[in-house]
Amino acid sequence: MSTEAYQTPVADLSLLGLMQITSPALPIGAFAWSQGLESAFELGWVTDEAQLCEWLEGVLEDGLSRCELPLLVRLQKAWATKDAEALAHWNTWLHATRETAELSDEDTRLGTALIRLLKSLDLMPEPGLLPEDPGYVTVFAWAAHQRKVPVRQTLLGFAWAWLENQLAVACKAMPLGHTAAQRLNEHLRRLLVAAVDRAMALDDSQLGPILPGLALASAQHETQYSRLFRS
C-alpha cells in the first residue's frame, strides 16, 4: 500500500480541529457563563420549554446572526490576509456591542483562556497580528483559520457551541430535562443553518445586535442574590 493511503486528508483534520474548539470539554471555562439566561429564569421570563425555545430563537435571530456570526466572516478573512488593522477594528467593534459588564467580561476572559490554551499547543498567530484585549470571537476565528476550516463551517461550529452551552445552562438552572433539551436541539439546529445564511449575506451597515431583553437580564444578573453562573 502506498504512503499516500496513510495520509489524513486536510478536510478531515479541519473537521476534527473544528470539533476540538467547539467541544464543551475545551478547557476555557465556557460552562461558567450563561449570557443572561440564568437571570431570565430568575426573573420568570423563561419558565418552560416553549419559552426557552422562543428566547433562544430571538437571541439567534437578533443577536448571533447580526453580530458574532457575520463578525467571524470578517475576522477569518482578516486572519487569512494578515490584515492587522481589520482585526483590531472588528475586535474593538465587538467589544462595543457588549452592553453590560458581565457580557464584556465573558468575551474578554474566554478570549484570554483560549489564547492561553493555544500558547500551550504552539498555535499562536505571528507577532503583531493579535489585537489588544482580543475577545473570544476574534481568537476563535484565528483558531478556525489556523485549522483551515472553511468560513461557513466556522460559523456553524460557533453557533452549535453557543446552542450546546445554552441548553446545558437550562438543564442545570431551569431545570430542563435532557430529553427536552434534545427536542430543542432538533428544532433549533435547522435555524442555525438559516442564521448562518443570513449572517453571510449581511454588509457592514447591517451589523449589530438588537437584544434589549438580554441586556436587561444580564444587567440584573450582576446583583442577583444567588447564582450558578458568572453571567
Predicted pLDDT of residue 6: 38
Domain ranges of the chain: 12-22+31-221
Backbone angles phi, psi at 24, to 5 degrees: -60, -20
Give the C-alpha separation, 62 to 60, whole Å.
6
pTM for this prediction: 0.93
> Crossing angle, helix 151-173 and helix 49-62, to 10 degrees?
150
C-alpha separations of 89 from 69, 126, 172, 228 in Å: 16, 18, 37, 34
Residue 167's nearest CA partner among 157, 180, 156 is 180
Backbone angles phi, psi at 104, to 5 degrees: -65, -45
Least confident of 1-5, 9-13, 31-35, 84-88: 1-5
Q: In this predicted model, what pLDDT tens digit does every residue of 20-75 receive, in sequence order?
A: 999 988 888 888 878 889 889 999 999 999 999 999 999 999 999 999 999 999 99
12-22+31-221 CATH choice from 3.40.50.2000, 3.30.160.340, 3.40.50.1000, 1.10.4190.10:
1.10.4190.10
